[in-house]
Amino acid sequence: MFDEMLHRDISLVNSLITSYVRRGDLAAAWTLFCDVRRTRSDLDAHTFTPVLRACSLLPLSKRGKQVHTHMIKTGADIGTVAKTALMDMYSRYGYLEHSKRIFEEMVHRDVVAWNALLSNFLRHDLPLEAPSVPREMGKENVELSEFTLCSVLKCCASLKAVELGRQVHGLVVSMGRDLVVLSTALIHFYSTVGCIDDSLKVFYSLKGWKDDMMYNSLVSACVRNRRYDEGFKILSLMKPNVVGLTSSLVGCSENLDLWVGKQIHCITIRQGFTYETQLCNALLDMYAKCGKISHARSLFDGICRKDVISWTCMIDAYGRNGR
């Protein structure tokens, strides 16, 4: 059946390779590609694109370079889709200059190609390169997507560029973009630059659906900015999850709020989260800082999978309380 597949229509072969990559079976995708390459000459950009993705996730960059060489020989490297896949592969290998050179060679650069360039800057910790991208996209009449705006906001957060981030927020509103999609990026940006009131304003302006990531981001932001009451208020509005509860416990520890900490402990037990080592470590630390050493020890003894943080917290608890 496998041999029969090698001689089927190329679109079916492409679909199978893509399916392997999506399932994470990268070795199977690579093996099939090698067999197809040896037996037929009608490979197209849709054959190479998923293979490049597989190469970027497999060890040894020579695989990707071999595929690129074969693409050049067959003329499959000239399209925007193929070049964008090549950009991503070289960037993941760490070859940013190769990736940028391929981008510059593109005759037609669509929004996916520009977004790939932004991802490269974020991946290689080059936020200074990103703010000019929307302007360059405008020159080529390429419409900004939600991904574009999220990426630029991440760069603004990294640079602590408050005014530039506000301009991007204004652009989001003026373009009528979906705030639900962009709200987590906006909340993260404002909280990172210390504008927690703006984070809260974005959150409360949203009507209807809010996901766990958004709630968790805001709870964490409130704790980081020492707005504990606001953080606990947000926590009370959401369905409990490990990340949100852990962030809130950091606030309890810093604020020595034993009463709220005990409530979170009750929620942890009720929700069946006591197997989560990270959450138990946060509870242990909270009790220790609030002077409840016996509670901390009881928690420590109940942790099934103690890690180095568990032991460090317990040692610190004894030291803090003169034991």
Q: What is the CATH number of the domain that holds 4?
A: 1.25.40
pLDDT tens, 44-77? Answer: 888 889 999 999 888 878 888 988 998 888 888 8
Cβ atoms 231, 248 nearer than 8 A: yes
As a whole-number percent, the residues of the chain with pLDDT over 70 amount to 96
Assess if residue 269 is contained within a domain: no
Half-sphere exposure of 3 (CA within 13 A, CB side): 0
Assess if residue 202 is contained within a domain: no
| Domain assignment of residue 30, given as a range | 1-108
User: Residue type for 204, please?
Assistant: Y
**Does pLDDT of 283 surpass 90?**
yes
Assess if residue 40 is contained within a domain: yes
pLDDT at 1: 46
Residues 34 and 317: their CA atoms lie apart, in Å, by 58
**Mean pLDDT on 144-169:** 91
As a whole-number percent, the residues of the chain with pLDDT over 90 amount to 36
Assess if residue 308 is contained within a domain: no
pLDDT at 79: 84
**Does pLDDT of 6 surpass 70?**
no
Assess if residue 16 is contained within a domain: yes
The pLDDT-based confidence of 7 (bands split at 50, 70, 90) is: low
Assess if residue 247 is contained within a domain: no
Residues 231 and 219: their CA atoms lie apart, in Å, by 5
Assess if residue 46 is contained within a domain: yes
pLDDT at 191: 87
Per the structure, how many domains does the chain have? 1
Residues 154 and 192: their CA atoms lie apart, in Å, by 10
**Does pLDDT of 92 surpass 50?**
yes
Assess if residue 206 is contained within a domain: no
The reported pTM is 0.74
